[in-house]
Structure 1
């Protein structure tokens, strides 16, 4: 009886530890053309499934060592194993290969060509448009030695040229309008740049999640924007919009270490 109770206890402990190891993995699917949406993702080990969103992202629960099967109609089926690095980062970037279709055979319509150019040219039907164009562009009947006096009459019939005073070239030019236009353009560029940065902060938070920044990287919530600006010296914003998400994650993790050191130095002062 004691042995049976011990076995049950071990099984319960093993089940609990397995559930603890089962975490939510985030991923993004891409191919040579861009993002991949509406793809089927199945955890082969747990038989749980999901599909990618309109921006190619997905979320699925998995443990270290599980295998994910990704399939679409347009792509070759791919199986990805959750390794230690993926399990630690809780994020995947998966590239799929497009399918190529090869035709087995095709029908060649019958023709009357012999293979000899001199004979085949005679059997090719003439196009009416080509014949009309040839007649139109034929100048063989024109006598170029004949002088047409009507040309001289046309030249003399044109009105005389009016001379313009060069000193009035810049008369009426509005320098204030030009300055106002440049100032307005700079203001619009700065506004767009600020909006671009704001969108980046929101998008990277939506994609990686609050837990990644505030728990994994241990960034204080009130210093989130300051931390992104600190990391943006390495142009993570440009890398993110170019689809190089893994490089962005690596920079965030590396810079979080030095960022915490700089915060501690300021607090000690």
Structure 2
């Protein structure tokens, strides 16, 4: 442990020596306007990667060599870059002057108004614009793919409590299950009939398609201009559209269907 600590100290001291090797200590003074405070200005040597800050009187000390770039910066002052020349190294002193920074705000146009300061009165004076909101039916809302995360009110099922009546999986006497198993061996259950697909509303269909493909994709792949996308989706929805095409594992089938529908749409538009 002592050897490791010794190696760390040697490496740390060697790193500091490498950063200051060949550099001399330069003391300096920063002058600012009478209304400003010279304390806390950052002086950073971009060549050595080391820096310092000025005192309350603007005095600082930093190691540098000829050719180093000293960067002076502070929030209320303009940044200043000083290249150290040999005369500064010979004298060991540097005086700089930093100008105050000017924060310019964007132009603001102040117009006359007849507001009174009373909310009830001003609310009647201010011009408002009615924004048309989408009108959705109950059928359209039911088509949405709602997802509700589990919370503290969600029930927790225990499969071990639902088998055999004894609380232990596979244990206990269940005559209904035995009879059902024998009936299943004699007369295998019929496969359930496939339920017909539930149609999706036009709003849900348009939202789902537009979330997958942008205007450029419609123009380059389906050859449908931007102003006709809405009509094309209505045409596609009214055709032989299968809701199962919106499933994630049928992306290629959906693309092929839309390509076929785009050809029919263009043919129908040419006949009009």
The answer to whether TM tops 0.5 is no
TM-score (structure 1 length as normaliser): 0.33
Q: Which has the larger radius of gyration?
A: 2
> Which structure dedicates a bigger proportion of its chain to helix?
1
TM-score (structure 2 length as normaliser): 0.33
